[in-house]
Amino acid sequence: MSKEMTTRERVEAGLGRRRRKETMFRTVGVLATGVGIMFLGVFFATLLAKGSSAFVQTFVQLDVVLDAETIAPGGELDLAYADFEGLVRSSLRKEFPGVSGRTERRELYRLVSTGASYQLRDMVADDPTLIGTTQSLWVPAASNVDMLLKGNIDAAVDESLRPLSDAQIEWIQALQDSGRVETRFNLALFTNGDSRDPELAGIKGAMMGSFYMLLVTIALSFPIGVAAAIYLEEFAPRNRWSDLIEVNINNLAAVPSIVFGLLGLAVFINYLGLPRSAPLVGGLVLTLLTLPVIIIASRAAIKAVPPSIREAALGLGASQMQVVFHHVLPLAMPGMLTGAIIGMSRALGESAPLLMIGMVAFIVDVPGGFTDPATALPVQIYLWADSPERAFAERTSAAIIVLLGFLLLMNLAAVIIRRRMERKW
């Protein structure tokens, strides 16, 4: 009796200390989570603050006379040589008749993007009957004008310290006063390929490049990965060789991605002679990268199928193969798909291996196939971050937001698939 009391007393004596320890541990845990969330919050906040302005773009309204003499001298229209830039310039001169002198005029012309003349050309190409008429159209403003109106260029500092002169700022003010300046959604960001003019640069080329690459990657790595996982888990004999393979697959998942890029350069480009900068080669390299991830996830999914299901099927006379394909595989599929999607989102964010196979390049044309030169989203971010024009800073952040959006969508898909299809035993 007395012994029981002492145990109880001892427990009660230590209770305070144990509770304190637990509280402390919980506090540390909360702090750790809090710091993590805080960093994430700072990251997203700066990204959104910097990048959100790139989703809108300043446009200027111009009345352009599509003068037949300038673009189709002698009545013959040759789009490649027609001087559409001259039309844009003359409409600017008409807007500001007081501007004279070569330097001043050059400054005036710099208010409008070079994209204006391409826009005119496309308009005339679509409808040649427009020649001779006067069209009022909205053209993108030059990136410096856009930066000024977004507050990224300070008009208050001395003229020599900013890329826009006092006269240019005056003209912009005049245009604003007459309602000829407007901020619109920056559609070009999603419909154009890369450009060295920030106001014309878009991520469509990079998105298509990433798309083709991921298509190759999923088409190869999913069937190969699942087949390897099924064989290793269900059919392979347990011996030294299978152990060795297992260890190597786990190691492969931890190999730095640049190594796969080097391998891709040596094997796919130098040995097999596939084209450089092609999404096909990028996809092959990313396949190597995602295979271990998919194999490991698929094996875990197969392992999670309860043995009772296998045994029941075997007991009813199913062959080993029937057991696997009729029972285990459908039940393991949600886990495998999740693994595949996680692998794909890793592949989407990869840029290091693409460096080696020539996908870090300036490519304007949007790729239309697996062998066209292309870049990928993370590479586009890297290239823009390194560009001197300041308007690329916000576009870099915008591209990161888009990339994060895709990653979020993919991970969401993985979660939904798991929720929808998962079976509980």
Strand 181-185 versus strand 56-65 pairing type: antiparallel
Residue 219 contacts other proteins per CB under 8 A: yes
Interface with other proteins (CB under 8 A), residue from 61, 165, 183, 195: 195
Q: What is the length of the chain?
A: 425
Of 22 and 159, CB closest to other proteins:
159
Residue 393 contacts other proteins per CB under 8 A: yes
Residue 80 to residue 78: CA distance in whole angstroms? 6
Residue 306 contacts other proteins per CB under 8 A: no
Residue 347 contacts other proteins per CB under 8 A: no
Applying the rule CB under 8 A, the residues between 221 and 250 that interact with other proteins are 222-223
Interface with other proteins (CB under 8 A), residue from 22, 166, 311, 365: 365
Residue 381 to residue 369: CA distance in whole angstroms? 22
- Choose the stretch contacting other proteins; rule: CB under 8 A; options: 61-69, 233-241, 308-316, 360-368: 360-368
Residue 398 to residue 305: CA distance in whole angstroms? 43
Applying the rule CB under 8 A, the residues between 110 and 139 that interact with other proteins are 110, 114, 118
Residue 101 contacts other proteins per CB under 8 A: no
Nearest to 370 by CA among 271, 268, 247, 222: 268
Min dist CB 149 to other proteins, Å, is 17
Residue partners of 82: CB distance under 8 A and separation at least 6 = 70, 71, 72, 121, 124
Question: CB–CB of 163/110 below 8 Å?
Answer: no
Residue 361 contacts other proteins per CB under 8 A: yes
Question: CB–CB of 84/121 below 8 Å?
Answer: yes
Residue 66 three-state SS: coil
Residue 106 contacts other proteins per CB under 8 A: yes
- Using only C-alpha atoms, what is the Rg of the chain? 31
**DSSP character at residue 133:** S
Residue 185 to residue 71: CA distance in whole angstroms? 30
Residue 267 contacts other proteins per CB under 8 A: no
Residue 274 contacts other proteins per CB under 8 A: yes
Min dist CB 226 to other proteins, Å, is 9
Kindly report the number of other CB atoms within 10 A of residue 19's CB atom: 10
Min dist CB 158 to other proteins, Å, is 8
Residue 112 three-state SS: strand
Residue 387 contacts other proteins per CB under 8 A: yes
- Choose the stretch contacting other proteins; rule: CB under 8 A; options: 15-23, 40-48, 50-58, 353-361: 353-361
Q: Residue 132: CA atoms inside 13 Å, Cβ hemisphere, count?
A: 5
| Residue 358, both tokens | 């020539």
- In which residue are the tokens 């390049």 written? 361
Residue 330 contacts other proteins per CB under 8 A: yes
**DSSP character at residue 421:** H
Residue 78 contacts other proteins per CB under 8 A: no
Min dist CB 393 to other proteins, Å, is 8
Min dist CB 86 to other proteins, Å, is 12
Of 163 and 349, CB closest to other proteins:
163
In terms of phi and psi (left: phi > 0; alpha: psi -120 to 50; beta: otherwise), the region of 380 is: alpha
Q: Which helix (H) or strand (E) holds 165?
A: none
- Choose the stretch contacting other proteins; rule: CB under 8 A; options: 6-14, 31-39, 67-75, 364-372: 364-372
Residue 362 contacts other proteins per CB under 8 A: yes
Min dist CB 365 to other proteins, Å, is 5
Q: 159-166: long-range contacts at Cβ-Cβ below 8 A with a sequence spacing of 24 or more?
A: 165/107
Of 283 and 292, CB closest to other proteins:
283
Interface with other proteins (CB under 8 A), residue from 93, 180, 204, 390: 390
What residue type is 175 in one-letter code? L
Interface with other proteins (CB under 8 A), residue from 71, 116, 188, 216: 216
Task: Catalog residues that contact other proteins under the rule CB under 8 A.
Answer: 80, 106, 110, 114, 118, 153-154, 157, 160-163, 195-197, 215-216, 218-220, 222-223, 273-277, 280, 325-326, 329-330, 333, 337, 358, 360-365, 369-371, 373, 385-390, 393, 421
